[in-house]
Amino acid sequence: MGACGATAAHRPPSILQARAAAAERGAAAGRGRWQGPGRGVGRTSGGRRPNGIKPVELEQQASFKDPFPDAPVTAIIGGGLAGLTCAQELARCGLQATIFDTGEHGVGGRLATRCSLDGSLKGAPAGLLFDHAAQFFTATDPAFTSMVHRWEADGAVMRWTGPVGMLADGHFVPDDGQGAVRWVARGGMRQLAQYLAGQAHRPGEAARGPSSPGSGTAAAALVTVRRPQWISGAQAEPEGWRLVGRGRDQGLFDMAVIAHNGKCANRLAAPMRGAEAVHRQLRRLKLSANWVLMAAFASPVAAPGGLQGAFVSGSQVLGWAANNTAKLGGPAQGGVQCWTLISTQAYGRLNKVPQENVPPEVAQRVTAEMLAAFTRCLGLPEGALPPLVFTQAQLWGAALPTNSLHVPCLFDPSARVGVCGDWVAGGGSMQAAALSGVAMAQRIVAASGQQGDALRGLALGLDVPLRAVQGEQIGQFPGKQAAPAADAHTSAAAQTAAPAGKQPSLGAY
């Protein structure tokens, strides 16, 4: 079967019928379906599960004996942008997928928004809203650009036209008109993820046809989202991959897609017997750490040029600052302004602690250092920032890839395992993540019903070396032209090259 160029609605009925029948068979066999508590699976020392079913004997590099299923049912482990677009594209091609995601407050991963309304900001006063990781995105690839235009037509994203540019020593240089359009999600990045998962509710919105890739309503019937659900293991059985989370069986799937990175992905892939080639590539991935400080000020910050967002130049501490209240509009009242400050990667590395358990004294020190750096960058005297009504410092320990495979996705068709995500497709950008998810789905579609050399020929990225990525401290922005540099220390490379082990002193910037 070839790639799914046509929409599901336009596909020959025979294929759709075959898929529906296969999906029913899969469902009847419990494939990809919740099988209830108490049916947990676990690897045993003899390779035999407690219920007596012997897992398929896999060599170091496994091959499923049967042809790739004609209507594969896919498990996508990770509900970030890549996992979501993968599921959307599979659904557009008439294939079922289940997304598993750990998100407590919603899907999205690094499309993260924190908001007082939904409890994602602990102890915050009402009305605060912060984009907590991805700040805005650009689109240069034609396929991604048309996806974004559909999101815009659906009201999920909008253009950010406020002053954004480069900030150094109190000087702000806007980059207006110099590069690609800046896009942001209405209501914060997490809303875009919710929309893609078909979970966003827009009163009065009419349902759209099920034919456009990247449309939030397209996939509803074929995509299942299970959240919050951690997947801790995957085990090959003759029929496919069985997933385990919190010690419980999460179902049997024809194909497993790892749509996340970092330690979690390593931990998951390492024991996946038969997915060694995939795991080898995952082990080579290098990731930055970045601190993010969410700070709400009681009154407007005196920002030069009325800047709404700025890449910070020449600071060892600060890489980015954005006024979310101006960017997103939203509920902040009485002059309160919500700012997101993101550290440089060098600062993140020097101040790395366990992300799940940040010692309070570290959070306090980082907060003070980032605020001091912000003051300096704005060109304000010490103590000149308005009073704070809320701060929260958090570390993204696996923030941004610093190397990439530079291929659309990673696919081992014999082992029926794939990986998609920003790090696979070129670096830390929403464009890379979205395109990687779509490419992953298209490989699965192309593999459907194939076997032998035709199937093996669809392998991708298993042997290519990872290469370093260049960009800003907070990722890559395709099409963005470099703003005029204010001094010699502006490049990401210069900032990341801060002497290892040397802690910036309080107020260093």
Ligand X SMILES: Cc1cc2nc3c(=O)[nH]c(=O)nc-3n(C[C@H](O)[C@H](O)[C@H](O)COP(=O)(O)OP(=O)(O)OC[C@H]3O[C@@H](n4cnc5c(N)ncnc54)[C@H](O)[C@@H]3O)c2cc1C
If the CB atoms of residues 287 and 447 are measured against ligand X, the closer one turns out to be: 287
Contact with ligand X (CB under 6 A) among 173, 197, 422, 471: 422
Contact with ligand X (CB under 6 A) among 116, 429, 450, 490: 429
- Distance, in Å, from the CA atom of 385 to the CA atom of 371, rounded to the nearest integer, reads 9
**Which one of 48-56, 134-142, 216-224, 310-318 is the stretch in contact with ligand X (CB under 6 A)?**
134-142
**Which one of 36-44, 273-281, 371-379, 425-433 is the stretch in contact with ligand X (CB under 6 A)?**
425-433
- Distance, in Å, from the CA atom of 288 to the CA atom of 342, rounded to the nearest integer, reads 12
Contact with ligand X (CB under 6 A) among 6, 230, 266, 380: 230
CB 128 within 8 Å of CB 270: no
Q: Which residues ranging from 433 to 472 are in contact with ligand X (CB under 6 A)?
A: 433
Q: How far is the CB of 80 from ligand X (least distance, A)?
A: 2
Between helix 81-92 and helix 189-196 the angle, nearest 10°, is: 30
- 75 is a contact residue toward ligand X (CB under 6 A): no
Q: How far is the CB of 429 from ligand X (least distance, A)?
A: 4
Contact with ligand X (CB under 6 A) among 428, 461, 471, 504: 428
Contact with ligand X (CB under 6 A) among 76, 399, 460, 466: 399
Hey, what are 268's tokens? 């998951």
Q: Which residues ranging from 3 to 32 are in contact with ligand X (CB under 6 A)?
A: none
- 287 is a contact residue toward ligand X (CB under 6 A): no
If the CB atoms of residues 450 and 495 are measured against ligand X, the closer one turns out to be: 495
**Nearest by Cα to 473 from 316, 322, 356, 306:** 316
**Which one of 212-220, 426-434, 480-488, 498-506 is the stretch in contact with ligand X (CB under 6 A)?**
426-434
If the CB atoms of residues 168 and 400 are measured against ligand X, the closer one turns out to be: 400
Residue type, 299: S
Three-state helix/strand/coil letters over 110-129: CCCEEECCCCCCCCCCCCCE
- Cα 216–Cα 211–Cα 154 angle in degrees, nearest 5: 40
**Nearest by Cα to 110 from 339, 342, 337:** 342
One DSSP character per residue, 180-239 reads: SPPEEETT-HHHHHHHHTT----TTPPPPPTT-TT-TTTTTTTEEEE-S----EEEEETT
**Which one of 78-86, 297-305, 355-363, 367-375 is the stretch in contact with ligand X (CB under 6 A)?**
78-86
- Distance, in Å, from the CA atom of 247 to the CA atom of 39, rounded to the nearest integer, reads 9
- 140 is a contact residue toward ligand X (CB under 6 A): no
Q: How far is the CB of 437 from ligand X (least distance, A)?
A: 7
- 407 is a contact residue toward ligand X (CB under 6 A): no
Q: Please, is 283 exposed, middle or buried when counting C-beta atoms within 10 Å of its C-beta (0-12, 13-18, 19+)? A: exposed
- Is residue 452 helix, strand or coil? helix
- 175 is a contact residue toward ligand X (CB under 6 A): no
Size of the site for ligand X (CB under 6 A): 39
CB 84 within 8 Å of CB 78: no
- Distance, in Å, from the CA atom of 470 to the CA atom of 494, rounded to the nearest integer, reads 12
If the CB atoms of residues 71 and 294 are measured against ligand X, the closer one turns out to be: 294
Residue type, 492: A
Q: How far is the CB of 28 from ligand X (least distance, A)?
A: 26
One symbol per residue from 357 to 396: x for binding ligand X (CB under 6 A), - otherwise; what is it? ---------------------------------------x
Contact with ligand X (CB under 6 A) among 55, 69, 72, 79: 79
Three-state helix/strand/coil letters over 32-87: CCCCCCCCCCCCCCCCCCCCCCCCCCCCCCCCCCCCCCCCCCEEEECCEHHHHHHH
Q: How far is the CB of 131 from ligand X (least distance, A)?
A: 8
- 109 is a contact residue toward ligand X (CB under 6 A): yes
**Nearest by Cα to 65 from 238, 229, 217, 286:** 238
**Which one of 18-26, 56-64, 98-106, 118-126 is the stretch in contact with ligand X (CB under 6 A)?**
98-106
If the CB atoms of residues 62 and 289 are measured against ligand X, the closer one turns out to be: 289
Contact with ligand X (CB under 6 A) among 89, 101, 154, 254: 101
- 474 is a contact residue toward ligand X (CB under 6 A): yes
Contact with ligand X (CB under 6 A) among 55, 69, 72, 83: 83
Q: Which residues ranging from 48 to 67 are in contact with ligand X (CB under 6 A)?
A: none
**Nearest by Cα to 314 from 485, 155, 469:** 485
The Cα-based distances of 492 to 216, 313, 322, 425, 476 in angstroms read 35, 9, 18, 20, 11
One symbol per residue from 302 to 341: x for binding ligand X (CB under 6 A), - otherwise; what is it? ----------------------------------------
If the CB atoms of residues 19 and 248 are measured against ligand X, the closer one turns out to be: 248
**Interacting residues with ligand X (CB under 6 A):** 77-83, 100-103, 109-111, 133-137, 230-231, 259-260, 264, 268, 290, 292, 342, 396, 399-400, 421-422, 428-430, 433, 474-475
